[in-house]
Amino acid sequence: MLKTKVGRRHLIDTDELTVEEMETLFGRAAYWRDHPEAWFQTGKGRFVANWFLEPSTRTRVSFEVAEKRLGMETIDLDGETSSTVKGESFYDTLRTLSAIGAEVVVVRHAGVGTLAEMAWENPGVSLVNAGEGNGGHPTQALLDLFTMQEHFRELKGLTVAIIGDIRHSRVARSNYWALKAFGARIILAGPESMRNPSLEENAPYLPVDEAIQQADVVMMLRVQLERHRETLFSSPDVYRHAYGLTPERLEAMQPHAVMMHPAPVNRGVEIADELVEHPRSKIFEQMANGVWIRMAVLERAIEGGRWR
Amino acid sequence: MLKTKVGRRHLIDTDELTVEEMETLFGRAAYWRDHPEAWFQTGKGRFVANWFLEPSTRTRVSFEVAEKRLGMETIDLDGETSSTVKGESFYDTLRTLSAIGAEVVVVRHAGVGTLAEMAWENPGVSLVNAGEGNGGHPTQALLDLFTMQEHFRELKGLTVAIIGDIRHSRVARSNYWALKAFGARIILAGPESMRNPSLEENAPYLPVDEAIQQADVVMMLRVQLERHRETLFSSPDVYRHAYGLTPERLEAMQPHAVMMHPAPVNRGVEIADELVEHPRSKIFEQMANGVWIRMAVLERAIEGGRWR
Amino acid sequence: MLKTKVGRRHLIDTDELTVEEMETLFGRAAYWRDHPEAWFQTGKGRFVANWFLEPSTRTRVSFEVAEKRLGMETIDLDGETSSTVKGESFYDTLRTLSAIGAEVVVVRHAGVGTLAEMAWENPGVSLVNAGEGNGGHPTQALLDLFTMQEHFRELKGLTVAIIGDIRHSRVARSNYWALKAFGARIILAGPESMRNPSLEENAPYLPVDEAIQQADVVMMLRVQLERHRETLFSSPDVYRHAYGLTPERLEAMQPHAVMMHPAPVNRGVEIADELVEHPRSKIFEQMANGVWIRMAVLERAIEGGRWR
Question: What confidence tens digit (pLDDT) does each residue in B35-48 have?
Answer: 999 999 999 999 99
Measured distance CA(C164)–CA(A118) in Å, rounded? 30
Establish whether domains C19-137+288-303 and C140-282 are of one fold: yes
Beta pairing partners, C302 = none
Chain C residues within an 8 Å CB radius of B227:
none
For residue C3, the model assigns a pLDDT of 34
CA distances from A307 to A16, A296, C131 (A): 19, 10, 44
A214 is in an annotated binding site: no
CB contacts, 8 Å: B122 with chain A:
none
User: Do residue B89 and residue A267 have CB atoms under 8 angstroms apart?
Assistant: yes
Question: Å from A93 to nearest chain C CA?
Answer: 8
pLDDT tens digits along B142-199: 999 999 999 999 999 999 999 999 999 999 999 999 999 999 999 999 999 999 999 9
- Picking from A40, A62, A265, the nearest residue to B100 by CB comes out as A62
Report the pLDDT value the prediction gives residue B54, as an integer from 0 to 100: 84
A86 and C264: CB-CB below 8 Å?
yes
Q: What pairs with residue C245 in β-bridges?
A: C271
Distance of CA C290 to the CA centre of its chain: 8
Q: Is pLDDT at C1 greater than 80 in this prediction?
A: no
Q: Which CATH architecture has domain C140-282?
A: 3-Layer(aba) Sandwich (3.40)
Say if CB B187 and CB B222 are below 8 A apart: no
Residue of B33, B39, B44, B58 best to disrupt the C interface, most CBs of C under 10 A:
B58
Give the residue-averaged pLDDT of A82-108. Answer: 81
Judged by CB atoms closer than 8 Å, whether chains meet at B65 and C75 is answered as yes
User: Rounded to the nearest 5°, which phi and psi values hold at A179?
Assistant: -65, -40
| Residue among A145, A157, A188, A178 nearest A26 (CA) | A145
Min Cα distance B95 → chain A (Å) is 8
C-alpha of C29 from chain center: 14
**Above 60 in pLDDT, residue A33?**
yes
Residue C305 — very low, low, confident or very high, per pLDDT cuts 50/70/90? very low
Average pLDDT over residues B279-284: 98
Instruction: Give the model confidence (pLDDT) of C211-225 as tens digits.
Output: 999 999 999 999 877
Computed on alpha carbons and rounded to an integer, the radius of gyration of chain B in Å comes to 19
Contact between chains at B80 and C77 (C-beta distance less than 8 A)? no
Output the pLDDT for position A4.
Answer: 37
Residue in chain C lying closest to B265 (CA): C88
Average pLDDT over residues A191-215: 95
Minimal Cβ distance to C73: which of B68, B266, B284? B68
Q: What is the pLDDT of residue C86?
A: 43
Within 8 A of A65 by CB-CB distance, chain B residues are 47, 73, 75, 100-102
Decide if B100 and A290 are in contact by the 8 Å CB cutoff: yes
Of C73, C81, C101, Cβ closest to residue B57: C81
Question: What residues have CB less than 8 Å from C188, skipping those under 6 apart?
Answer: C161, C162, C163, C166, C172, C195, C196, C199, C200, C203, C204, C205, C206, C211
Please report the pLDDT score of residue A229 as a whole number.
Answer: 57
Task: Please check the confidence at residue A306 and state whether its pLDDT lies above 50.
Answer: no
Q: Measured over all CA atoms, what is the biggest interatomic distance in chain B, rounded to whole angstroms? A: 63
Yes or no, beta carbons of A55 and B81 under 8 Å apart: yes
Task: Decide if pLDDT at A304 tops 60.
Answer: no
Q: Judge whether residue C84 has pLDDT over 70.
A: no
Which site among A100, A122, A125 would you substitute to test the C interface, given the most C Cβ atoms closer than 10 Å to its Cβ?
Answer: A100
CA–CA distance, C182 with C18 (Å, rounded to integer):
9
* Residue B58 with chain C: CB contacts under 8 Å: 83, 96, 100
The nearest alpha carbon in chain A to C264 belongs to: A88
CB B296 within 8 A of CB B32: yes
> How buried is residue A180: exposed, middle or buried, by Cβ count under 10 Å (0-12/13-18/19+)?
middle
For residue A40, the chain B residue with the least C-alpha distance is: B45
What's residue C224's pLDDT? Answer: 79
b/e code A228-237 from CB counts within 10 Å (16+ = b): beeebbeebe
Distances in whole angstroms, Cα of residue B14 to Cα of each of B11, B28, B38, B181, B299: 8, 17, 27, 9, 17
Domain boundaries, chain A: 19-137+288-303, 140-282
For residue range A278-291, what is the model confidence (pLDDT) as tens digits? 999 999 999 999 99
**pLDDT at position A112, please?**
87
At C186, phi and psi to the nearest 5? -110, 135
Count of positions (residues) in chain B:
308
Tell me if C286 sits within 8 A of C18, measured CB to CB: no
pLDDT digits (tens, 9 = 90+) for A220-264: 999 877 666 555 567 889 999 999 999 999 999 999 999 999 999
Q: Can you tell me the distance from the alpha carbon of A77 to that of C264, in angstroms, rounded to the nearest whole number?
A: 15
Tens of pLDDT, residue by residue over B1-38, are 233 334 469 999 999 999 999 999 999 999 999 999 99
Residue of chain A nearest B4, judged by CA positions = A36
Chain B CB contacts of A40 under 8 Å are 45
To the question of pTM greater than 0.90 for the whole model, the response is yes
Give the model's pLDDT for residue B127.
96
Confidence of residue A11 (pLDDT cuts 50, 70, 90): very high
Annotated binding site of C: 58-59, 86, 108, 137, 140, 170, 222, 263-264
- pLDDT (average), residues C154-174: 96
Least confident span in A115-119, B67-71, C72-76: A115-119
Indicate whether C80 pLDDT > 60.
no
pLDDT at B305: 39
What pLDDT, on a 0 to 100 scale, did the predictor assign at position C57? 83
- Return the number of other C-beta atoms located less than 10 Å from residue B120's C-beta: 10
Going across the sheet that includes C102-109, the strands are: C73-78, C47-52, C102-109, C126-132
Per residue in A195-206, pLDDT (tens digit) is 999 999 999 999
- Spell out which residues of chain C touch residue B39, defining contact as CB-CB under 8 Å: 45
ipTM above 0.90, yes or no: yes
Say what the pLDDT of residue C231 is. Answer: 58
Q: What is the pLDDT of residue B224?
A: 79
**Chosen CATH of C19-137+288-303 out of 3.40.50.1370, 3.10.20.70, 3.40.50.10160, 3.40.30.10:** 3.40.50.1370
pLDDT of residue C235: 84
CA distances (Å), C246 to each of A87, A93, C208, C216, C264, in order? 21, 22, 11, 17, 17
Touching subunits of B (3+ CB pairs, under 8 Å) are A, C
| Whole-number pLDDT of residue C244 | 97
Confidence of residue C230 (pLDDT cuts 50, 70, 90): low
Confidence band of B86 (pLDDT split at 50, 70, 90): very low
Residues of C in contact with B60 (CB under 8 A): 81
Cα–Cα dist C281/C162, whole Å:
15
> Measuring CA to CA, which residue among A102, A118, A112 is closest to residue A169?
A112
CB contact under 8 A, B57 and C77: yes
pLDDT at residue C121 above 90? Answer: no
Residues of C with CB under 8 A from a CB of B: 1-2, 45, 47, 49, 73, 75-77, 80-89, 92-93, 95-102
What is the DSSP track for B183-196? T-EEEEES-GGG--
CB of C245 closer than 8 Å to CB of C218: yes
Residue pLDDT, tens place only, C21-51:
999 999 999 999 999 999 999 999 999 999 9
Q: Mean pLDDT across the stretch C80-103?
A: 75
